[in-house]
Structure 1
Amino acid sequence: MTISVGQVRADLMTESSIELLPSRILELSGVLPDLACGSRVFVTWLPGVPFADVLAACDLLKLCGYLPVPHVAARSIRDEGHLQEICSALTERDIPRMLLIAGGADKPAGIFADTVQILETEIPVRTGIRTVYVAGHPEGHPQASEVTLLEYMRRKQALARTQGLNMQIVTQFCFDAAPVLAWEKRLRDGGITLPINLGIYGLTTPKTLVRYGLACGVGQSLRFMQRQRWKLHRWFVPCNPQHLVDAVAQEITQTPNTNFRGLHFYPFGAIARTLEWRRALSLSTGDHS
């Protein structure tokens, strides 16, 4: 039986995750209206923030029935002992999952500069981590070529298979579907079979999105967004990312071997509005908005 784009879209929304700062989670007392128990909530770890803040947010999320996915930033880890301490703190809390990233620090705090080095220690898997999410960059990375990024993804995939880790990709957010679909095909052609969770912006304003886009360097998509500036009367009206969701849903229905499996929301402050919209779409299987 053929599954409609609308049904796939609803399934993607139901299974999607969201990313929040520890401070926002604590501010909200861990209560996220319109987000069902058992949903994944990614907890950021920014440079200079104590990991204890991340753990406190994770504890609160667990108490409220969510599945916390803490960021673990390689460049913020001092040494193998520090890594062991972080991983053990997670598994002692029955949090066997993490998003492993290089991190935004200009200089490493210790011996780790990238995620491959973390995986090569085998400390995460030895301490009981079972699921590792890694970052995907559909529009490239300012400090690495496309060839380098693909090679690093192959190494991560190989390490995950060797160590028996469940590994998935979570991408940076994008505005335009075209570069995302092209990137996913390049990964498949390059031998990558890891499930991909596409980063989606929340229902915030175009002005906010352009500011974050400039900071994150999402080039092709940012140019797409800037071409919409003629709609100045909508500059402070919340953007709707359904065109991205539908593009992924359509790709899933048309390409049996696609790596797209889910969505990951970056609300950029518009938490309640984003979650309300997400819930509404998860309940709708129609093919038109």
Structure 2
Amino acid sequence: MKEHAVEELPLPGCFRYEIIPLEGIEEGVWEWVYEGERSPTLTITASPARGMGPTVELVRRLREGGYAGRALVPHLSARLIRDERHLEEIVARLKEAEVEEVFVVGGDAKEPAGKFRDALGLLEALKELGSPFERVGIAGYPEGHPFIEEKALMEALIEKSAHASYVVSQVCFDAGRVVKWVGRIRGLGVRLPVVVGVAAPIEAMRLARIATRIGVGESARFLRKQRGWLLRLLLPGKKAGLSYDASGFLEALVREGGGEGVSGIHLYTFNDLKSSVGWVRRQGAARGGF
């Protein structure tokens, strides 16, 4: 994965778009994101309410429609995968779609579907299968995790990094905190490139609707993870429909110095691809064009 200086972060190839496998998203990809061989990377999440099936199926359909397999990055959620045989089946289908990269997470399912309880166990299982993917991403948490202690998070990140190619940070609204977190993990010996998680522009009500469609139990967890953002949107004096805009965050990231090894921007689109793509293009125009 190519690394960029922080001053160069707002570049077209630097952005990747995260999508949720819900009704209508495939049409949105073709309408707003697909650009032939120049199409940006798409990462496809996995939902506890629906399992791994919709993620793998969306990858298959996008590949059959012409999206390059190398630009499709499915999430492999450990707690949604039953056992090694289930994992082998998923890997086989993804390899058929010419997928070269996956993003491995523990997942938000309350109870694991089988033997895999966390991302590390799944990473080790992939290694046992001969490391079938060229690149593997893992998650990092600049502001901590609502259910995991900070020390345990850092220990897990160190262990996972031995099996990974890069780390994606959870959405954070404080660029300074992201920079400090990058410095901290470097101090702990984690040298992986960091792809910084950024929330795309979206209205608070749309976020709530998306969360509801994901599933009742998962919806609550999803909203808890985004609680800092929601508080910003719902502060007194905010106009109805006003969305968060990460332009200031990117400017602050550059201003703060960014940290060694920052490799790109992971855009949490919440399936509003029209707004997300438009925003990315405006970032390019504001910084000399894409």
Scaled by the length of structure 1, what TM-score is found?
Answer: 0.81
Give 1:46's aligned amino acid: S
2:62 is matched with 61
Compute the displacement of 1:239 (Å): 2.3
Tell me how far 1:178 sits from its aligned partner. 3.0
Partners of 1:87 and 1:47 in 2: how far apart? 19
Q: Within 5 Å, which residues of 2 pair with 1:62-141?
A: 62=63, 63-66=65-68, 67-123=71-127, 126=130, 128-141=132-145
Question: 1:276: which partner in 2?
Answer: 278
CA distance in 2, matches of 1:214, 1:96: 28
Query: For 2:237, which of 231, 245, 254 is the aligned residue?
Result: 231
> What CA deviation, in whole Å up to 9, does each residue of 1:121-171 have, x standing for no partner?
2447616212111111111112221111111111112234xxxxxx11112
For 2:44, the equivalent position in structure 1 comes to 43
Change (3 A) 1:35 1:189: farther
Deviation digits for residues 29-72 of structure 1 (CA, Å, limit 9, x no counterpart): 64042554331111111013243322221123333435111111
Cα deviation, residue 197, structure 1: 1.1
Q: Could you tell me how far apart the structure 1 residues matched to 2:166 and 2:114 are?
A: 26
Q: Are the aligned partners of 1:29 and 1:60 in contact in 2 as well (CA < 8 Å)?
A: no
**2:27 aligned partner:** 28
Q: Which runs of 5+ in 2 are unaligned?
A: 212-220
Structure 1 residue 78, shift from structure 2 partner: 0.8
Residue number in structure 1 paired with 2:169: 171
Whole-angstrom distance in 2 between the partners of 1:74 and 1:275: 30
Q: Which amino acid aligns with 2:96?
A: E
CA distance in 1, matches of 2:24, 2:135: 22
Report if aligned partners of 2:33, 2:273 keep a CA contact under 8 Å in 1.
no
Q: How many residues align?
A: 271
1:26–1:60 Cα contact (<8 Å) kept: no
Structure 1, unaligned runs of 5 or more: 161-166
Alpha-carbon distance between aligned partners in 1 of 2:55 and 2:198, rounded to the nearest angstrom? 22
Letter in 1 for 2:242: V
Distance across 2 between alignment mates of 1:208 and 1:214: 13
How far apart, CA to CA, are the structure 2 residues paired with 1:99 and 1:19? Answer: 11
Counterparts in 2 of 1:26 and 1:230: CA distance versus 1, 3 Å = closer
1:23 CA drift (Å): 2.3
Residues 1:217 and 2:225 are matched in the alignment = yes
For residues 116 and 84 of structure 1, the distance between their equivalents in structure 2, rounded to whole angstroms, comes to: 17
Alpha-carbon distance between aligned partners in 1 of 2:50 and 2:5, rounded to the nearest angstrom: 44
| Matched residue, 1:18 | 17
Q: Quick one: structure 1 residues 237 and 91, their matched pair in 2 at CA, closer, same or farther if it must change by over 3 Å?
A: same
Equivalent AA in structure 2 for residue 225 of structure 1: R
Q: CA, structure 1 residues 124+50, in 2 after alignment: closer, same or farther (shift >3 Å)? A: farther
Give the partner amino acid of 1:68: L
- What is the distance in 1 between the residues matched to 2:199 and 2:206? 10
**Does the 8 A contact of 2:204 with 2:230 survive in 1?**
no
Query: Shift of residue 113 of structure 1?
Result: 0.4
Q: Superposition pairs for residues 145-164 of structure 1, below 5 Å?
A: 145-160=149-164
Contact 1:34 1:279 in 2 (8 A): no
**Over aligned residues, Cα RMSD in angstroms?**
3.0
TM alignment of 1:196-207, pairs within 5 A: 196-206=194-204
Moved more, 47-56 or 92-101: 47-56
Report SS of the residue matched to 2:163. Answer: helix
Task: Tell me if structure 1 keeps the 8 A contact 2:166–2:192.
Answer: yes
Aligned-residue identity in percent: 26
- For residues 202-234 of structure 1, the C-alpha deviation after alignment (integer angstroms, 9 at most, x for no partner) is 111256569979724356x459727x824323x
Contact 2:76 2:105 in 1 (8 A): yes
Contact 2:26 2:62 in 1 (8 A): no
Aligned 8 A contact 1:101 1:134 in 2: yes
